[in-house]
Structure 1
């Protein structure tokens, strides 16, 4: 099926979270795409059912996942990883909790560049670690880390969360930026939790470099979490991968039970995605790039004054709506007045109170209707 042929009526009828949580509101909040499954993944899941594979994860599948993961990152990024250093995890956030519990000191703080993925804002507190927000610097054309501020707030042994591509702003970090970050982390004997779940989703012409590839120092202080879940829309199947360095791997027995929730469908679908899903992924990335260009045009037509720094990766657009002078939270305004469900920017950090996150990983006609509804709501105030 061509992505443009998928209608909002079909998406509502499917009953997924994105299109049911807020009743008849168009779903643009949760990080899921609306493009169905790649055929190799669909085939793998049908075979799983036909073969009656409904039991616990097997060592055979676990090894195949390790090999599929390492072959994928070698092919796509030139990143050489020992399959033995890859562990299956239910999701990326489990990787963060494992990192905070087992890889940093109890009094270590978590340093987070904002705006940030919402759970990064509250999970450190649940793990009894203080959170330090460091707002990013927005220029006309890009987002930049405030390296001076990061260096200033970093205390010995703290944990830095790197999200690359950066949810919710779509930034892909350059090698030079990550080199400088690694020097600051190393200077303060810190650690990095490196979330690369959106890594396969980059705009045409954008180079993605995994953080551990930057230098040996970066590789030595990092735990990387990744998954096929965002690029191939598999989040509900519960499978991610943690890439550990040798020292961390030697202590992995301490947190093995934390990773026990990985699901059989997730493991088999991740294997299929990494081994056979790149053709479908290339088409998705091209479609997302065209969606983003159309979004830029629509914002100028429907929401003049909205500020959007175009993404280098992901399908999540960060819109600064301060100039529109909306009452209350922008997300509440558009949910009530336009019936479009967006992510509240304030949930992504103090810097985001006038902003929303909009998911454009949806059929283009559906995205166009969303933005037109938002424009009409603003004009009708």
Structure 2
């Protein structure tokens, strides 16, 4: 019913991924496999809803309707077994701005905020740019993938005000188990630590894995939680700028909303409202088809690397369309790896050190693209790491 094999030219559309490689990498003529957006069009229902709204021709201030809150509530109950109340919802132009708001609303300068590493870079940056103390807890890389260092995080949560949790984990695609989240949440309750859970990749959890929203586990966890979700990663709508923040504690929700008001935020743009509701109400079948396609891309990527570039070790993601690849066996410095990728292979990927010092020696490859593009990426990776030159 849905095809993801049709290539769509994205150049000259002001695409960060395709048109801004020179600004971010210093080169133009590279295949972009980096920033986390997809090369697929949004679900037909979203395009249809936005087109219909465009035909109206007037784009004035747009209120956030209760029907959008209902659509999000229904989606979370159906996809993630989490029953929320619509009145728990606040909105933002993005998950990153929402996390920044939470930091300013619930912590003070010099307060300690714990973040796992490696992780999505803005989580580090938001702490430091807001003059809070960044406390990193390195994850342990085992044969099973990344795991929490419980002894380390238990010590670092003492005296901390907040934990920024990336769930599912970016860049590795790890889906934290319910048991892990219970153990982590118990430590946070004991230490009176507020948990801001970035769950933007939750909808991209790959079968048979199951995402567990942190706040859904019990009332105690809900009371100390701020959960950030969005349709943007799920349905490739990042340009619409829309995120939902779920805050069950009424007093904290008031604090969060007041912080947003101080920043001047009061509503979403017209197309964010229309697109988000259409996606949540009518995008389920499309998402199931997308996940099947991405899973096949991941399988092909892991198989290719294991066969043709055995010194590159992919960590098979349990969620997301991002493949975290261990390149340390190459015996190269990161700058050398980067230069080979950009200058020889003509391919742009995210370098691991961007995700914290624990990511040094890794790269992150975005496989949310057509098979044709993926095969071209494989070809370029081989050229980049040809040991004969």
TM-score range, shorter-chain basis? over 0.9
* Structure 1 unaligned residues grouped into runs of 5+: none
* Structure 2 unaligned residues grouped into runs of 5+: 22-27
Partner of 2:365 in structure 1? 358
Q: Mean alpha-carbon deviation: is it higher for 329-338 or for 266-275?
A: 329-338
Q: Secondary structure at the match of 2:220?
A: helix
**2:180 pairs with one of 177, 181, 194:** 177
Q: Secondary structure at the match of 1:152?
A: helix
Partner of 2:287 in structure 1? 281
1:213 aligns with 2:216: yes
Cα distance in 2 for residues equivalent to 1:28 and 1:15: 16
1:298-313 matches, within 5 Å, as: 298-313=304-319
Cα distance in 1 for residues equivalent to 2:68 and 2:138: 37
Cα distance in 1 for residues equivalent to 2:360 and 2:287: 33
**2:60 pairs with one of 55, 59, 63:** 55
**Mapped contact 2:114–2:160 kept (Cα < 8 A):** no
Report the alpha carbon displacement of residue 53 of structure 1 after superposing the two structures with TM.
4.3
**Mapped contact 1:302–1:376 kept (Cα < 8 A):** no
**Mapped contact 1:302–1:371 kept (Cα < 8 A):** no
Partner of 2:107 in structure 1? 104
Report the RMSD for the aligned CA atoms in angstroms. Answer: 1.6
Task: Name the CA shift for 1:308/1:328 in 2 (closer, same or farther; >3 Å).
Answer: closer
Cα distance in 2 for residues equivalent to 1:173 and 1:315: 17
**2:342 pairs with one of 324, 335, 347:** 335
Spell out, residue by residue over 1:48-82, the C-alpha distance to the aligned partner (whole angstroms, 9 max, x if none). 10112412221xx3322211111110111221111
Q: Mean alpha-carbon deviation: is it higher for 153-162 or for 283-292?
A: 153-162
Q: Secondary structure at the match of 1:293?
A: helix
Report the alpha carbon displacement of residue 157 of structure 1 after superposing the two structures with TM.
4.0
Spell out, residue by residue over 1:256-305, the C-alpha distance to the aligned partner (whole angstroms, 9 max, x if none). 32344632211211111111101100000010111110001111133211
Cα distance in 2 for residues equivalent to 1:14 and 1:338: 24
Report the alpha carbon displacement of residue 90 of structure 1 after superposing the two structures with TM.
0.4
TM-score by structure 2 length?
0.93
Runs of 4+ in 1 over 6 A off after TM superposition: none
Spell out, residue by residue over 1:336-377, the C-alpha distance to the aligned partner (whole angstroms, 9 max, x if none). 221111112101001011111110111122112112211122
1:177-256 matches, within 5 Å, as: 177-245=180-248, 246-256=250-260
**2:98 pairs with one of 95, 120, 132:** 95
Q: Mean alpha-carbon deviation: is it higher for 246-255 or for 25-34?
A: 246-255
Partner of 2:6 in structure 1? 5
1:367 aligns with 2:370: no
**Mapped contact 1:298–1:368 kept (Cα < 8 A):** no
**Mapped contact 2:34–2:366 kept (Cα < 8 A):** yes
Report the alpha carbon displacement of residue 139 of structure 1 after superposing the two structures with TM.
1.3
**Mapped contact 1:116–1:349 kept (Cα < 8 A):** yes
Cα distance in 2 for residues equivalent to 1:52 and 1:194: 38
Q: Mean alpha-carbon deviation: is it higher for 279-288 or for 320-329?
A: 320-329
Partner of 2:302 in structure 1? 296
Task: Name the CA shift for 1:238/1:15 in 2 (closer, same or farther; >3 Å).
Answer: closer
